[in-house]
Amino acid sequence: MQIHTTTKQIKKENKQILCKNCGIICNSRIVLDSHIESRNHRNRVTNKRQSPKCKLCEKTFDNHTTLGVHLKSRAHFKKLSKTQ
């Protein structure tokens, strides 16, 4: 059986979907469903694990590495300079 898809369908399928609980961006509904069933998502929803957070920017991150990247980012420095 051959499945036919149009360009319109492909573009529609390539929309990014945000998990509002985790801030994770998924490329498809299937990936989002997989994420929702993951341990990381369940931990976030049940607050078993506290995620690293930038209090200045009020952003939460998956791990300390991504927090470190954020702390060196232009957006963070911009907010930092406004507070001084």
Q: Rounded to two decimals, what is the model's pTM?
A: 0.43
Percent of the chain with pLDDT over 70: 80
Q: Please tell me the distance from the alpha carbon of residue 51 to that of residue 61, in angstroms, as a whole number.
A: 6
pLDDT digits 0-9 by tens, 14-47? 578 888 888 888 899 999 999 999 988 887 787 6
Beta bridge partners of 60: 53
